A and B are shown apart, each in its own frame.
Chain A
Amino acid sequence: MSTLPHDSAHNHVRGLSEFIDDRPALRGEVFVEVLFSRQAHARIRDIELGRALKHPGVLGIYTAKDFHHNLWGTIFKDQPLLADQEVNFVGEAIALIAAETRDSARVARSLIRVAYEALPAILSIDQAKAAQSFIAGSRKIERGNVETALKSAPHQLQGNIIIRGADHFYLESQAAIAYPKEDGQIEVHSSSQHPTETQHVVAHGLGLPYRDVVCIVKRMGGGFGGKESQAAPIAAYAALVAQKLNRPARLILTKDDDMIMTGKRNPFENQYRVGFDDEGKIVALDVELFSDGGAYADLSTSIMERAMLHSDNAYFIPHMRVVGQVCRTHYHPHTAFRGFGGPKGVATIERIIEEIAHALGKDPLEIRKLNCYTAIGGRDITHYGQKVENNCLPELFERLETSSQYKARRARIQKQNAKALSGSSRLLRGISLTAVKFGISFTTRFLNQANALVIIHRDGSVQVSTGATEMGQGVNARISELVAQELGISRDEVRMMATATDKNANTSPTAASSGTDLNGAAAVLAVRKIKARLSELAIQVLKIPESRWARHTAGLGTEPEIEVSIEGFEKDKVNDPNADAIWETGIASYHGVTFKDGMVLCPNLDDPSNPKQVSFAALVNEAYHHRISLSDYAHYRIPGLSFNKLTGRGDAFMYFTQGAATSEVSVDLDTGEVKVLSVDILMDLGRPVNEALDLGQVTGAFIQGMGWVTTEKLHYNKDGALLAYSPSTYKIPSIQDTPRDFKIELLANDRNFANLRGTKAVGEPPLLLSLSVWTAIHDALKGLPEYKEHYPRMELPATQEEVLRALMPEKFARLAPSGKSSAP
């Protein structure tokens, strides 16, 4: 386990790391701008291009008819690259303007007039439900007999929860540059989490065979799911212009355009009925999830599936039914965002737990622990039938409750709130401890594969190429560390190459927290093939005096060339990165040969304490002269995934990443302002490859989630246009919002045998712990007289207005425009 910095950190701090728009302009390069719809739903009567085409510097304007195939889509091919005859959301691309300068393209865009004929727009989940406007069918996962169990439960309650969307706000907006090459080939550099899909969408749109499009991703300035599917059309736009003009074409969205055009985290509106006993143990649960998918399918059905698979979170629910339906509306097509559907399922069950506790007058933590998955009594099978292996949840609850001094703080807060309620202070406080159990694997089985290419050069330095894309999470740092450790060399000797579809094809998106799990495993399998050959070679050549080695003699004709024969291993059939490894170190050894500190050591039978050794670089060079391959490729697929989408049963995940967080907040009684005072996180990440990078993911994901549950509100006007499309109106957390007291610890867990080196994926799960902030805000309000009877149900995010409204609902009613009494 290491704590090495990110492999690009030294370049990041010097401003030397290259992002898309940092690439120098090539001769003849043109700029592309996108004209998009200002209407949510309309027929396009006419597009008047005359003035724009005459604007100085304009080289061409392209519309739907210019694409060879105009439809794309990750799951369903239902979305036009450029709107054809009809627009279905504000921000839908209609035309591409290519010009000599960025300024010229922008001005020309403003000169285009689109004549719309407005059509009725569906702008809420309720409207979609009423109009039966859905994307794909309803899905159901069910266990037990929900109706009977609900009826027989000692207590029942029902409710609903409104969860809003959120913008990814990656700092680098969507961007691509396309270069035309010989024979009509296109090389596209894209800020994409999914180079393979980007390649395919570009090729399909342009009518090219896949072999003629190469997509290259050096890095992204943040992705968070927003560049999983939605980077592809942007690349296709640049590529179309490059193809049409036979000139390099650059498309860099402004933040405003990016936020208006691209999809967000899906909003959800969920309904629940729950039955529970006197203690608070859940007997039965019926949940209906409705998401706003936006105008096109994008990944929404898959997001819904993950929401359904996470509606249990950390809790065993014997009788459970979860139904999910994606609604089709006239908003931007919503898409992947860190956590996918997980946070929406988990927010729902955490709200339910809170309501049960409130109804019974108990501490919600008590209810959480009572319902927590446990092997005792067989309460460790999920509603879809997968056993929760390596279940750390009970331990996480116990440990964090103690280490965060939950009980003492709860008692203190009760006293403080009593003061506030009696009028001697204006701050309420709240505390909440929530957990997460996040399933790791794509729920779409075929995506759980990866490939990697490892090349060792004759000086002993190494290049690694995988399908993983680097977006700040440090996947390259982790993979290079894994490879370096296998070869016993320093990480600096291993260079991670830009992700490119001509080296790693048919790859999956870097998503679902799986980047290192999948690509790291493939890289380890690939390097071990070479390692096995080098080990055998080392044994053989170390029997011969070094002066006679081929690297000194080959080709000179001065002495007979030595011959060694390498049997090789049947490594191709191995799919388990732990198979040849020693569990404790995670590193493989062949023939007793070890690779360490730049040396290769062979057992010496004559003198066991004094192993024979050769430097790694020398051995590599020797291997070349024996015509032994120093490059290799491996493919990895996650074994044992049996989830059946039709029956809703089976093993959906390879394992679960788990964690818990205690958050304490204060709420200002006058303004509704929320401060997150302290956060204690305990995460189970198995055995991290790089602990420092993992902690960075936990910190960043939590704060990102904190924004989603508090300040980040996507305001739309009544016509479906996003009004909050820049940081002046869309408020992600600032440095001042970081909790004053922020502790993160990792649980020691050496038992995750399922995954590469016993690690656990980290990218998404900690985001869901931010729900503890949301429940803590509710906790602060629970003591108000208004909430004696029912739980203070706020929307997510609990914005300042939402909180103030919940603090003084009567005052809001009195001062609402319809309440004339106060506004004469």
Chain B
Amino acid sequence: MRKTVLFYLNGKRQEVGPEHAGLMLSDYLRYERGLVGTKVVCAEGDCGACSVLRLRPMASSKNLPQAARNIYLPINSCITTVAQMDGSSLVTVEALASQTAGLTPVQQAMVSSHGSQCGFCTPGFVMALTGLVEKKLCDGVKKGARCTPREAKNCLTGNLCRCTGYQPIIDAAVAIDLSKCASVKDQFYSLAQERELKKVLKDPVKFQNEHFSFFAPTTLKDAAAFLRRQPDARLIGAATDLGVVHNKGKIRLSKLLSLHLIPELYDVKKLSPTRMTVGSRVTLSELRHFLKDKIPEFAKFLDLFASPQIKNLATLSGNVSNGSPIADTPPFLLIAQATIIVAGPRGKRSIPIEKFYLGYRKTALKPGEFISAIEFDLPKKTESLALYKVSQRKDLDISGVNAAFRITWSDAKKTKIREVRIALGGVGPTTLRLPRTEAALKGLTLKSDPNSMRLNEVVEILHSEMQPLSDLRGTSAFRRVLVENLFLKFFREQGVLQ
């Protein structure tokens, strides 16, 4: 049993115990290590100024491509505790440039393309761009290779800048000659380091002082037993939500249980040609990699949802167990007939996702229980699937409304509905399935109804099944109009409605 967490920071070994392990990583870097290049603006993972690079050896499932494993990825240091960095290798902005080699090509491009003005967001942008370069280098680059504006924008969705209008940063990104970039991994990650990190990741951690306690077991059994004994302990996955709530002073992350040392939770695999499972420690970035070809609609949807920095930490299980009615993955999981695999003091049990949400931010998890995996359908190519998310700003915004539609057709021409599943977020206390709407649509042949009168009748049922509220993301009328429009849009896109 270890009494400290271990990680590497800019190539140097750090062991941290209860005195500092409960700090947010950004605070630790800035106030304990004097690494003030990492900035904090929002303290909620929404601006990217606190981005650092993190590598965690072999934590990921073997079913993932190389590009998703063993690579430095940008994360938000403002909403993650130091304890969670156990077994990681971190790089901060200060370490990139060297006395001898000067600025890195990323930094030089940011200077030459005037990608920084006030400079406060700049370190975060440099780290996110360095992460992109790292990924490209991992994929292999030809001489003179550049990244595209699209790649640059996608990797910088999680970084806000208020001065430049971003265009100079995009210009900087595409100006980088990737073949002239040195890998961060080559500089800051050694075999010896990997050996040590891998070794310690097999050893549980437990420590505490009067202000902070931390336990990271290596088995589900130990985790459940601890949670039962210590009901006030907080189970943290990535803490991308709890970290925010902590920063806002609404809770204190002072007694933590982390599952990061339990190997089976990193599994992501197909269970059958039409069913798959995702362990609760699999990040959304890793999940996206795995699903890219299997459910392109969901993979694409994940691009709009959260920032790369968040997705490099956050998990599907976290998004589900959080219980927010506007969480973005539950609509998909509802129509994909997900089963929540729950571990607890008495072993595992399965809960169909329909039964998982009991009310506003209330789930069926009992004391001592936590999600260990989520299983869901891989829809067939012959089915129709669509996922929508509407928010004030298209990218990196919390939804006003989200929706998922899935039709299984009776015929190859996709005209007769055998089964339809619809799930909506943001229009009720939980994400909703719409049983009456679905029943009304079942068995319909849509082409025979060119005036869509039937669909208009269904719209009335649709409205009767939701209870949207007005809040800062939109009025109830706005939400109703959106749902109605998305519903009609989905059927229009099936080619069966003019």
Contact = CB atoms under 8 A, between A and B. Distances in A.
A482 B382 CA distance: 68
B110 A735 contact: no
B157 A736 contact: yes
Given A110-B249, A728-B398, A426 B482 contact: no
Given A10-B103, A728-B44, A673 B390 contact: yes
Given A731-B392, A735-B153, A801 B475 contact: yes
Interface string A800-821: 1100110010011001110000
B111 A732 contact: no
Contacts of B160: 169, 171, 727, 732, 734
Given A670-B486, A734-B395, A808 B481 contact: yes
Contacts of B163: 222, 472-473, 696, 700
A171 B41 contact: yes
Interface string A1-39: 000011011111111111101101100000000000000
A724 B46 CA distance: 13
Contacts of B393: 711, 731, 733-734, 737
A670 B480 contact: no
A222 B157 CA distance: 20
A731 B153 contact: no
A171 B481 contact: no
B59 interface: no
Contact of A673 (B116, B394, B481): B394
Given A734-B396, A738-B167, A474 B480 contact: no
B258 interface: no
B111 A222 contact: no
Given A692-B114, A727-B47, A823 B249 contact: no
Contacts of B119: 8-9, 11-12, 17, 19, 219, 221, 472
Contacts of A254: 43
Contacts, number: 249
B122 A13 contact: yes
A696 B164 CA distance: 6
Contacts of B470: 817
Given A15-B94, A704-B162, A812-B481, A221 B170 contact: no
B408 to A, nearest CB: 24
A15 B121 CA distance: 10
Given A673-B390, A711-B393, A804-B482, A6 B162 contact: no
A673 B36 CA distance: 39
A650 to B, nearest CB: 35
B126 interface: yes
A106 interface: yes
B411 to A, nearest CB: 26
Interface string A155-174: 00000000000001111110
A807 to B, nearest CB: 9
A224 interface: yes
Given A22-B36, A804-B478, A811 B103 contact: no
- Category for how many chain B residues contact A: 35 or more
Contacts of B165: 699-704, 733, 738
Given A222-B162, A254-B43, A724 B472 contact: yes
Contact of A221 (B37, B92, B106, B120): B120
Nearest to A692: B114
B159 interface: yes
B31 to A, nearest CB: 8
A27 to B, nearest CB: 15
Contact of B120 (A172, A692, A713, A729): A172
Contacts of A13: 97, 103, 106-108, 110-111, 116, 122-123, 126
A677 to B, nearest CB: 14
B248 interface: yes
Nearest to B129: A13
B177 interface: no
B477 interface: yes
B118 A220 contact: yes
B112 interface: yes
The CB with the most chain B CB atoms within 10 A, among A168, A254, A701, is that of: A254
Nearest to A690: B114
Interface in A201-231: 219-222, 224
Given A14-B103, A15-B36, A734-B157, A726 B46 contact: yes
Given A9-B110, A169-B162, A734-B396, A15 B123 contact: yes
A799 interface: yes
A822 B460 contact: yes
A474 B47 contact: no
Given A12-B119, A221-B118, A700-B164, A173 B41 contact: yes
A670 B152 CA distance: 29
Interface string A718-749: 00000110111101111111100010000000
B333 interface: no
A699 B164 contact: yes
Nearest to A736: B395
Given A14-B103, A172-B41, A824-B464, 9 more contacts: A13-B107, A14-B96, A15-B37, A16-B37, A18-B36, A671-B482, A700-B162, A734-B396, A738-B167
20 contacts: A6-B117, A12-B110, A13-B126, A14-B97, A22-B36, A171-B39, A699-B167, A701-B165, A727-B46, A728-B42, A734-B157, A735-B153, A735-B161, A736-B157, A736-B395, A737-B393, A800-B392, A808-B481, A815-B481, A817-B470
Interface of A: 5-6, 8-19, 21-22, 24-25, 106-107, 110, 168-173, 219-222, 224, 254-256, 423, 426, 471-474, 670-671, 673, 692-693, 695-696, 699-704, 711, 713, 715, 723-724, 726-729, 731-738, 742, 799-801, 804-805, 808, 811-812, 815-817, 822-824
Q: Which 9 A-B pairs have the closest CB atoms?
A: A15-B37, A472-B118, A221-B120, A12-B119, A703-B165, A472-B117, A15-B93, A715-B472, A699-B165
